[in-house]
Amino acid sequence: MNGDWLIRGRDGRLSVYLPTDDAVLCRAELGPGGPWEPPRRVGGDQKLHPGPAVGQGTDAYAHLAAWRPTKPGEAGLVHSTHFRPRLAALDWISIGHPDKSGDRTGTPAVTVDAQGRAHVFVRNGAGGVSMRGQKEAGGWGPWRDLKGREVEDRPAAVTGESGLVELYAAVPGAVLHWRQEKPGSVPVLEEALETPVRPGTLHALATSADHTTLFYTDDTGDLCAWRPGTKPVTVLPSAGPGPVSAIRCRLDGHDCTLLAQRSAGGRVAFAAYPTEQESAGAWWTESGPRLPVDAVVALAVDADERVVAATLSPASGQLLITRRKDEPGLALEAWREV
């Protein structure tokens, strides 16, 4: 999944979205902190291509986007809304193709503005980025070409505390940043940061009223943080080759940013520091069993405001969960399979 595939729903239950070869499955807690229900298919029986995306608004509704085959050699994007984890998601609806027709052009990204409107971003056939957003009165606006050149796959979409939508995307030797100027407007390209970025390592997080922070791995293997309008800083060497997951949470009464990543040794590595204070320093601490090479990591905060971490191996479907213990620091319970 491109986006936060472990989320807390409106009713306090946690849920996870699990991609398969031709569908998205959802599993949810039967009650906050309780056992988990079996997987359920999201959005009806339509067959999907791999590589869906998920985003969540302040109303806690989940929005999903994915490609579906339409005819040989062609595909179109579809969207579904999931209001509560234990309810069925809405059926997939077509939102078309950024180039009107053709095959898949890239992995979509989804974020949701302060009014609860989903915005779907995807690389287009010309190598730039296109976006389609929901209208306030219902339905969808037209596809918008946001420009850009040689955009790499897996952009990172995020909504700031201001409620404005932002997008980050890597291009050879740089990162591009788009931002809405006002609610409902089309995001505009505001800044380009010259930096080498490892493909598929972008993760964006709202970190204050004025800023979102982009985390990425550079070509030396360092995990970096960048807030547009400032210079990027190195947080620490990356724990492993894949993407990092990040959330804001309260640790011992402090507003912290918590990072998690599958380490090169195969376990989950955690690091935390005061939010937007990368200069305070951070270091990795590993936890849990050795994971398959395809395992990905996600973070969330549960109904009791406890940090929750999950790992998923798409090939095997193995899902592991742990929670923070009620004690100082980041002590975690034993990992358990769901």
Q: What's the pLDDT score for residue 303?
A: 92
One domain for residues 177 and 231: yes
Rounded to 5 degrees, φ, ψ at 279 are: -65, -15
Enumerate residues 6+ apart whose C-beta is below 8 A from 120. 53, 65, 77, 79, 95, 108, 109, 110, 131, 132, 133
- Does 186 fall in a domain? yes
- Does 110 fall in a domain? no
Domain final residue, candidates 192, 209, 238? 238
Q: What's the pLDDT score for residue 32?
A: 86
Q: What's the pLDDT score for residue 17?
A: 96
One domain for residues 82 and 135: no
Output the pTM of the full model: 0.96
Q: Is the separation of the CB atoms in 155 and 166 below 8 Å?
A: no
Domain final residue, candidates 221, 238, 255? 238
Q: Helix %, strand %, coil % for the chain, to 5?
A: 0, 50, 50
Residue type, 316: S
Q: Tell me, what DSSP letter sits at residue 187?
A: P
One domain for residues 3 and 98: yes
- Does 109 fall in a domain? no
Q: What does the block give as tokens for 13? A: 């239950």
Q: What's the pLDDT score for residue 86?
A: 81
Q: Which structural domain, as residue segments, surrounds residue 231?
A: 115-238
One domain for residues 233 and 126: yes
Q: For residues 236 and 169, what is the distance between their CA atoms, to the nearest angstrom?
A: 22
Q: For residues 85 and 63, what is the distance between their CA atoms, to the nearest angstrom?
A: 12
> Cα 319 to chain center, whole Å?
18
One domain for residues 282 and 217: no
Residue type, 246: A
Nearest residue to 10 (alpha-carbon basis) of 32, 27, 25, 26: 32
Domain final residue, candidates 176, 203, 238? 238
Residue type, 45: D
Q: What's the pLDDT score for residue 328?
A: 86
One domain for residues 2 and 79: yes
Q: What's the pLDDT score for residue 156?
A: 98
Domain count within the chain = 3
Q: What are the DSSP calls for 303-330, one per residue?
A: TTS-EEEEEEETTTTEEEEEEB-SSSTT
Query: For residue 183, what are the CA distances in angstroms to 35, 82, 87, 176, 186?
Result: 39, 23, 30, 20, 9
One domain for residues 223 and 317: no
Q: For residues 11 and 56, what is the distance between their CA atoms, to the nearest angstrom?
A: 14
Q: For residues 96 and 77, what is the distance between their CA atoms, to the nearest angstrom?
A: 5
Q: For residues 137 and 122, what is the distance between their CA atoms, to the nearest angstrom?
A: 23
Q: For residues 117 and 184, what is the distance between their CA atoms, to the nearest angstrom?
A: 9
One domain for residues 216 and 247: no
One domain for residues 3 and 22: yes
Q: Is the separation of the CB atoms in 75 and 67 below 8 Å?
A: yes
pLDDT tens sequence for the chain (338 residues)? 899 999 999 999 999 999 999 999 999 999 888 899 999 999 999 999 999 999 999 999 999 999 999 999 999 999 999 999 888 999 999 999 999 999 999 999 999 999 999 999 999 999 999 999 999 888 999 999 999 999 999 999 999 999 999 999 999 999 999 999 999 999 999 999 999 999 999 999 999 999 999 999 999 999 999 999 999 999 999 999 988 999 999 999 999 999 999 999 999 999 999 999 999 999 999 999 999 999 999 999 999 999 999 999 988 889 999 999 988 888 999 999 99
Q: Is the separation of the CB atoms in 204 and 246 below 8 Å?
A: no
Residue 271's CATH number? 2.40.128
Range 279-282, long-range pairs (CB < 8 A, 24+ positions): 279/233, 281/236, 282/235, 282/236
